[in-house]
Structure 1
Amino acid sequence: MADEMDDDFEYDEDLASAPDLLERLQFVRGSKEDFSSMLRASNESNQWVRKFRDYDCYEKMLGADKLHDTVAKTKYGEYVGSCICFEFPEMSFVAIYYVCPKYRGKGVGSRLFADTVTDSLRKGNIGLHAVQAMSPVYEKELGFVKHADWLVDIVKMMNVNVEKINDLKSSLTVKGAREVGLENLVDYDTTVNKSKREPFVRHWAFERNDSVCKVVVDEKDHVIGYGCARLLSVVGYPSLCPIYADNDEAFIALFKALALCYEEELKENSLIDMRTPSTKTPRIKELLSDVAQIEVKSQCVPQFTKYVPDHDINKVYSITDMTLFI
């Protein structure tokens, strides 16, 4: 008995080195608290950025039965890693896949993935945004063989000049989401995504009270773009995601309206986060050259198991988040 107790505590100070690590960890249903732990850990190790209350949005958008969330913890409740998969009617998407650095390469990630992305889900189409180093692994070992013909650029705008944002010119009218109405917003979103996603538009853009949503209309009051912005947790600067627009002028109108909602934060941090398609990044740099220093910090590869969903990439200036395709 004493020997067994000694074994139990032998690796307490360095659990990651235990030969039976997976047996010592708990793999359980994740929660908002675990999501917050993931956000802090991933920001420290990989500079990932999100908002704690994004999880509230996921729950409202999907419901508990379609939000597949597995977390790994030690017996003392220490956070180890997460895998979250969103199940939509037309496909599923691996939204979060993260393991703390000292536990990587030990089978934790594989266990999390297998527990979350079940055989039932794998019967349908599944997507994810793969960091470039892992893209070949997802393709060869997990069957994510279908690639979009663009990459996601993780863009950081630095030294943002608020006065230059105010100087941006557009003759278009920008309205709030409620002035336009949910139905009109969903109809426009469908021209971008090519399949109707009312729960996403309702909960990410229209009803969310911890973010802003702006809509640009033409002279006939027709929607020609919309965008959202939220203040990121931990880092404290805004993320402008998504921004969908018919043309550059509509994008400029939305960028200006969204960024100026965080004028005080921008004066303090001078930073903006965006997730731009690689096909759009050069044009965005050109359009906003006087506003900020724009750097691509990294790139991700949109990959799927069966097919790349139909979408209009020409209207996408910034995707929603790494948790969704666009």
Structure 2
Amino acid sequence: MQSQQSPVPSGTSRRTGFASSAELDDLLDLATSSTSSRSTPQPASPIAATPEPESLPPMPTSRNDLFASYREYQKKIAALAFEVRKIEAHLFGDHWDSVINTPETKSPGDIAYLAIENLLKQAEKQYAPPGGTLTIDRSAVFRDLGLDERSHWRFIEREALVPFDLARMHAYLADAYGGDAGETAAYKQAAAELIKFFRFDDTEAVATTKRHVACTVRVWSNHKDYAPKGTLEVSYNEHQRISRAFQALACVMAWAERYDLQAALSRSAIAGYCFTFKSRQRETFPGLGIIAFKEKWTFEFDHSVAEKLRLFLGQYGA
């Protein structure tokens, strides 16, 4: 292994492997001066010196002062972090924790998507009618803004070559759904959902008697595992359909000011994933009865409720 050569001052002989006494003195002086320059701070040149920022106080020397300074900076950082979290919660909504806690898995496109999705959810909540729900078509929003949805995210991944403008989207949503427009859109969506679920366009699906108006709906159920014999549960694919129908009915009842039925439908467990029943089991609501069979459900509306439903569909179901 070759040893590294020490710096040699000018005038040192390299003709032999030995140095003269004068050359040794020069080497000793050089080693001493380099050691002292490393251990003892040298005064900085006025030209090369970099001035300290005026906002930073001089570094304390005692441990107590250091601890006090640390606590002071910690308070400032905590206050700043609190303000940042408020911004994140407002910008990303329910998804803000995933942006902060797992930033390594969030690309610029992911973060932009969460910000836009939160803005759309806020608009759905803000412009929905009382007791109802509003669904905003994401693809329609991008189309109306002149953006292609899939290429938009691809361009965001490439340093946002397509303009990413939340303020423009916010203004578009306010213009498209503000005032009565959002409520009207939600009512039309509820009417379309009920017409599809109850098959109101099929006259044979509705039967009128002196006591009620009955609508029979095909609902597929299965025997529940590890439950008493005869226990049924709605099949997995039917849950979302029933849930949307209950939300639409609650919206209609809020519009008709039948708040008792609207509240009962909103908190009912029938549309939940844990609902189980026996064949011919009857569920009763104010002005509505539901008889559940294995392969169909019968909804029996009181005539007063059926009349409100008819008026609603006549106004928003066209």
- Global fold match (TM > 0.5): no
Q: TM-score with structure 2 length normalisation?
A: 0.18
Q: Pick the structure with more helix per residue.
A: 2
- Compare the two structures and name the one with the higher strand fraction: 1
Higher relative contact order (CA 8 A, sep 6+): 1
**Which structure has the bigger radius of gyration?**
2
When the two structures are superposed, what TM-score results if normalisation uses the length of structure 1? 0.18
